[in-house]
Structure 1
């Protein structure tokens, strides 16, 4: 059978069939967008993405992975992109539109999705165009797989095309086959018949797939398709070159509207990056002096320094230097929590608006980002912003350089922005075997990635961070890691992971130990040298930290001693003023301590004839909008801005969970904390006298030095003496070791930074800290090994292992809602609603604002205001609270059709005739939302 020529002078149909459709959803009735036109659109957009958006360093990495030049890679990738939907030329796909003219075509062919068809078919056809089919990195196999994966999941393809003929896979030599071949020939000619590469590296193939997906998403916008239709569609194959030229002319505007450009390099002195810092500290001076001469290309910088030492500013400056050297001027700052990401977004946004000169984009990336008032979204959550391409800027004034487009705020697109801040989870999903991980890899590839608080990763998350660093090293992405309390072995593991990805061979010179405080720079160029700071760093002078271990019964009937101990420590504050924090391990303990202090401090102040102190409570179980207000309030009250404005309270007590130990810039006179692993206690103490060097805080007479009071059990080496719930948060082995470590020091002050690394390392390494209960150490080590293995199993393979099979990158294909970047992250999101005598549901106890449901739909969809009203009142609870009560907590059925609401459940509170509120009973647990202390577990 003759398969015809590009313009179809042979065969039963003879001509390229332009009636085959590619897009119809969302178009007017009986309007279908020709498949050929869509393929040309995507190829044209890929050309412009490569030319105007993809960072120069990324282009070089991709070209190297294709073993060719940047110019040739820039011809190959648009051509491949134009082939992505060739699998739609089947009866199975075309018949999805009942009005499609299929009478000329047989009802035959593979019953598979069009992505799998594209991959299978191209694996057999590309060898006819000179693509090698066998061997590692075989171009026919890798190109076919990356194109077949354009919906976010790679398909398993045949090991060898010689093993079975194509027809045995369900592709008969019929009219469908002729059209596929005609389209392949036509597209090859229109895109200049670029010569095939000799090899395609697997890691680079994943990046190219991400680029094809990006081009497809852009070209599939209905606004763009509508303009293409209005301008006129080709009537015959001879019209296709003109149509392609028109698509090429429109593509730059499409990128501009989407907010996709290429940020300019920002490299200058530290002083110009941060003009308000008149005297850079020792860390900042050292980095500014040595880093530029070390950066001959991509690399990783690890910074370990005490809290409050300006690591964020140092990292932002270092990112300028490293980004310029690597040809990647974008930025992603990854934080451990949503709250810390929100704060970092504001800081980085302010910094960038000083530093960038051309319009740029910045996104905030976490599940509740659009609720942040500084990141107001023009995208209606009810629609997802799929079809709009207007370029807006949220809350930023029109003259600001850093903006955000509506397109970039669509799902999974935020990492395409020039700059971004968000949770570490958003980056780690690039290293999980989950759908669209290649999109995240592409988004990260053009940036310098800063991971703050890297010590916060447990064994499971550390395995994912390690794998992500393998890939970032392979893709030559600059990385900066920041920590105040990082174990020396973890520092070495992270550095080696990056260098291993970059190609460092076994047996290479060992990675040197990082001084504390200090930094280490690892370059990706062979021989992968690691340089540590040449001279010791001068740090901000600090008074030694007084650490007092108050021991008392913490379990059984005598556990009330803790409340009296906290009161005793705060008595001077109530009388003479000052600011202190009490950190409890669980939400319930924080709520109970807050209630106890509220009653006691008011009575004690009255006895003294003094004003009672302000009381603040912060934990995760507040509704989202209330938690945000509280966070802003305490950041102002206890932060440098409030102190400089004269708004620091005379007397105030903050009761909180560990939520305040990371990336929250507050200054306290006294820190009281439950027993926790030593590195976390040091993190918490970093909020004590944090701004002393600024001279802006007036200390009370009783606060003559920074002080940390640790609430510990009266018995040492006894797991039973530790509250059972503490063991769910921190492994008992670490609590026992820390307790013994504090006892051994006999309340000797902790010198910062001199003693920090010794304490952090000693908690794990000192064999004499837990002689009485060695089984606890063995249990912890076994658990860490198991969790690390689980992380490795969930992670994508090492980049060097991806030589023939891209399928292994996404073979778990989990829904993003099910993907765990944190072990045991079993939490559910709920909203508390209220019902009165009539049985209707409301969002407030006053029964004044209805709970959005089927009856409140506007035009078949919830409005942005309705979705915002629900999510702003939502909060997390342990998932096991809701198990077995699915009917009781089921949301309105209409929520299932909204991507923002479908995973939110309801806790229905009943409002009595007298206004009294009763929360729901969940088995043996009754819960109730209290306006002052958050969601209560009343037992």
Structure 2
């Protein structure tokens, strides 16, 4: 027990000195009102006491051991955790080493509470109601108490008796808890424990225990190396030094590089708004470097809206790290983590020979690393990814820090040493916006610098996000009577909000001249009415009309449908039409979310190659068209964010105007590069917006009846308002960037666009409900946990941890399509050549990483339906041995029948038929 305590204390001290960014050390020390050396020893002392609750009779009796020498503290039948016991005992004992027993002091109760919550949930601060608090809380004054006091004094002495800090607040206590948890996890690895047991202390004297502690200090850095917790650091550099491939920075990049350094005197938030394809990503990398240098935060986290966009950004950010990072010592490796539920399927991030499982009691495997920034099995463990120095992932990874999930403070601790970049900020819905605002309050309170990026952000959302960050930094709510921090959004442009002074500086405040942008031809917008067939939109006539020039003369177009089913149907009708043209038919591609993971990745790579910038350079002569002669991409909303595509024409179902502008950003995207020869029919970028036809006999101003499937995805009132806005602008082009912000703001703010008061009220009511759900779900603001951490773990009502979601109504089930032949054998493929494995090929039937990748890469995410959460039919349940794998146990099987003649029979589940079509994906 003493050895583990001293190991934990040593790990905390090593983490303090070698892992924590300098700015984090200073922030914590300032909150304690002490210097960084003393603060580090305090934290190490606390870490050494995290398991003192194990020195109780109730804990030790869990194993069959003779405890006759330790009478007292008899088993009362209660089964409190040892963390709870730690939190209840320390307030009684810390005063004996100089800690204040004054009820007005928050230090002793917060230290006790944070250590009591090291297993992920905080208990309340205990209050004694009798004259003998030791007995009241189930502690005796006999041998057990002697052991606890001996451990307390041993750890205290080994850490050179650090004096109680003058102050400690709740937010900083929560962050310190994250550090304590990390220290505990590191020294609980099996290899380390076994190695230290080979040379235990000769006796229990102070000299022997100090020697054990000193040896742990020497050995623990290797644990950080094996876990991949080394630093990725970048030296100061100009924008042009950071991006030598950009020979002439654009107006946005030049403005930021020229003015932001003088504003970056400490923590703050930078909001960047600019059109699609305007180099916001490179600007964000440079801004993050400036903020990181100013605040002593070496880490980075880039948050994206989806797994696909995170995968794309991880590749891009890794290239930047390889160019910019200081030399990475191969013996002190650092990880650039990819964080989302399917990240482990990425072979560029996770080596194929990495072990398939990882637990706290496991060894490190740095020998598996194939690049300086590849994953370690330790960081792939649950809840650990944000502990990597640099990381890219879905925004959910950060938002989980403000939900009362277990170990949420480990995530917050991981963010504290980073510059946090949120890309595609406009993609958050009202539910996620509340979560993001609360995260920004916490990041502001913890002095974490933030960068927000958006192409289409409503000014009120920009104001709410900036205000939330400054509320966290200033420690109080913004009064209604105070001027709002963001009264409008300069577009394109940027602003800087200083966390210490709360001053908000816009680019126009420093240079009144508008930021120059890449020259773009005006966007022509056309509304095209579509009929309906059997209650569904009938796009056939419009598509034949608009795509006829492409079929005859060549070119590239995208068709975006609102639902997967409609995209599949549209693909089918275009395939039938194109088949009439034989070898001269245009290429046809389909992309949506209901393809098996591996197939979706392959399709994404193909369309980036065929429609992307790099693919456009494949050719032999300057000026020749390098893209396909003729090609059409049918897709859902998955291509509107972060995919670098270029088409001559965009055809899309109507959607809120901000999303239409996002989609239009894929039209003539690379025109300024001069690398694409456009077909003669494409005189300029064109956006065809499909809208429902007017009811027969209705006048020109009568509102259309939008298909129910479209209303299931977007609020009816936003479709109506967007339609009215575009009708009003009939015949006008959209200038980018000049018209973007007025369109994004106007669709919400212009009441003359309202066509249906009931629909408007319904939308506003639904948004209020989503915000209400989110406010009930998030942890309290930093100011609400100043003296008590309980709110970080408990809500005012019982809640299942699995119900704590960062997205309201998101896909949450993964299905695996498999096949059953006429003889009852189960297969992974319709050809019945790959058996469905019931057990793994590893030790004791465990699944290897290769097997897990093979299985999970075939899964498909689907929205949870009525059958989710109920006991599945036997045919849809995974084999019993799969229960041992966290990656497999939650899968739902969709067994397709295979007849003797090879005919595929759809699977059945929840009253539906499900069929995996090799070209169209999962159909139901």
| TM-based fold match above 0.5 | yes
Q: How does 1:365-764 map to 2 (within 5 A)?
A: 365-377=339-351, 379-383=354-358, 386-392=361-367, 394-396=369-371, 401-503=372-474, 506=478, 509-512=483-486, 513-533=488-508, 534-535=510-511, 536-554=514-532, 556=534, 561-603=538-580, 605-606=581-582, 611-646=584-619, 648-715=627-694, 721-764=705-748
Q: How does 1:857-872 map to 2 (within 5 A)?
A: 858-872=843-857
Moved more, 808-817 or 81-90: 808-817
Deviations 1:908-928 (A, max 9, x none): 111111111112122431111
Q: 1:306 to 1:159 in 2, by over 3 A?
A: farther
Q: Which runs of 5+ in 2 are unaligned?
A: 329-333, 620-625, 695-699
1:324 paired with 2:293, answer yes
| 8 Å Cα contact 1:287-1:318 kept in structure 2 | yes
Displacement of 1:587: 0.5
Partner of 1:800: 783
| 8 Å Cα contact 2:349-2:374 kept in structure 1 | no
Moved more, 897-906 or 271-280: 897-906
User: For 1:181 and 1:556, how far apart are their aligned partners in 2?
Assistant: 78
- Helix, strand or coil at the partner of 2:922: strand
User: For 2:474 and 2:715, how far apart are their aligned partners in 1?
Assistant: 36
User: For 1:785 and 1:348, how far apart are their aligned partners in 2?
Assistant: 37
Deviations 1:438-494 (A, max 9, x none): 111111111111000000101000000000000000111110000000001111111
Find the partner of 1:849 among 811, 825, 834.
Answer: 834
User: For 2:220 and 2:362, how far apart are their aligned partners in 1?
Assistant: 16
| 8 Å Cα contact 2:647-2:668 kept in structure 1 | yes
Deviations 1:261-296 (A, max 9, x none): 333343210001000000100000000000101100
- Helix, strand or coil at the partner of 2:865: helix
User: For 1:758 and 1:134, how far apart are their aligned partners in 2?
Assistant: 58
User: For 1:412 and 1:249, how far apart are their aligned partners in 2?
Assistant: 27
User: For 1:680 and 1:151, how far apart are their aligned partners in 2?
Assistant: 43
TM norm structure 1: 0.92
- Helix, strand or coil at the partner of 1:547: strand
1:55 paired with 2:21, answer yes
1:361 paired with 2:330, answer no
Partner of 2:331: none
Displacement of 1:101: 5.7
Moved more, 533-542 or 205-214: 533-542
1:913 paired with 2:900, answer yes
Q: 1:52 to 1:465 in 2, by over 3 A?
A: same
Find the partner of 1:122 among 90, 94, 97.
Answer: 90
Q: 1:490 to 1:413 in 2, by over 3 A?
A: same
Displacement of 1:779: 1.2
- Helix, strand or coil at the partner of 1:553: strand
Displacement of 1:234: 3.9
User: For 2:29 and 2:840, how far apart are their aligned partners in 1?
Assistant: 55
User: For 2:129 and 2:98, how far apart are their aligned partners in 1?
Assistant: 14
Moved more, 116-125 or 819-828: 819-828
User: For 2:13 and 2:537, how far apart are their aligned partners in 1?
Assistant: 69
Partner of 1:776: 759
Moved more, 132-141 or 619-628: 132-141
Q: 1:163 to 1:482 in 2, by over 3 A?
A: farther
User: For 1:137 and 1:368, how far apart are their aligned partners in 2?
Assistant: 46
Partner of 2:769: 786
User: For 1:191 and 1:838, how far apart are their aligned partners in 2?
Assistant: 69
User: For 1:215 and 1:161, how far apart are their aligned partners in 2?
Assistant: 35
Find the partner of 2:810 among 825, 839, 846.
Answer: 825
User: For 2:411 and 2:109, how far apart are their aligned partners in 1?
Assistant: 23
Displacement of 1:422: 0.4
User: For 1:134 and 1:678, how far apart are their aligned partners in 2?
Assistant: 59
Deviations 1:883-923 (A, max 9, x none): 46712421112222211112211111111111111121224
Moved more, 382-391 or 685-694: 382-391
Displacement of 1:371: 0.7
User: For 2:836 and 2:902, how far apart are their aligned partners in 1?
Assistant: 18
Displacement of 1:414: 1.2
User: For 1:724 and 1:849, how far apart are their aligned partners in 2?
Assistant: 41
Q: 1:215 to 1:874 in 2, by over 3 A?
A: same
User: For 1:288 and 1:670, how far apart are their aligned partners in 2?
Assistant: 35
| 8 Å Cα contact 2:525-2:689 kept in structure 1 | yes
| 8 Å Cα contact 1:126-1:140 kept in structure 2 | yes
Partner of 1:66: 32
Displacement of 1:675: 0.8
User: For 1:150 and 1:795, how far apart are their aligned partners in 2?
Assistant: 20
After superposition, the CA RMSD in angstroms is 2.0
User: For 2:234 and 2:36, how far apart are their aligned partners in 1?
Assistant: 20
Moved more, 353-362 or 465-474: 353-362
User: For 2:181 and 2:871, how far apart are their aligned partners in 1?
Assistant: 40
Partner of 2:622: none
User: For 1:918 and 1:419, how far apart are their aligned partners in 2?
Assistant: 47
Partner of 2:860: 875
Equivalent pairs counted in the alignment come to 893
Displacement of 1:595: 0.7
User: For 1:897 and 1:747, how far apart are their aligned partners in 2?
Assistant: 62
Deviations 1:809-861 (A, max 9, x none): 01159776432001112531111111112323221112222222248664242
Deviations 1:665-707 (A, max 9, x none): 0111111100100000000000000000001111111111001
Q: How does 1:303-318 map to 2 (within 5 A)?
A: 303-318=272-287
| 8 Å Cα contact 1:389-1:407 kept in structure 2 | yes
Q: How does 1:98-109 map to 2 (within 5 A)?
A: 98-99=64-65, 104-106=70-72, 107-108=74-75
Q: 1:867 to 1:574 in 2, by over 3 A?
A: same
| 8 Å Cα contact 2:399-2:436 kept in structure 1 | yes
Q: 1:103 to 1:826 in 2, by over 3 A?
A: farther
Q: 1:293 to 1:912 in 2, by over 3 A?
A: same
Q: How does 1:30-179 map to 2 (within 5 A)?
A: 35-99=1-65, 104-106=70-72, 107-108=74-75, 111-134=79-102, 138-159=106-127, 165-179=133-147
User: For 1:375 and 1:567, how far apart are their aligned partners in 2?
Assistant: 43
Q: How does 1:107-256 map to 2 (within 5 A)?
A: 107-108=74-75, 111-134=79-102, 138-159=106-127, 165-238=133-206, 239-256=208-225
Deviations 1:855-889 (A, max 9, x none): 86642422212211110001111211634671242
Q: 1:815 to 1:324 in 2, by over 3 A?
A: farther
TM norm structure 2: 0.94
Q: 1:897 to 1:233 in 2, by over 3 A?
A: farther
- Helix, strand or coil at the partner of 2:392: strand
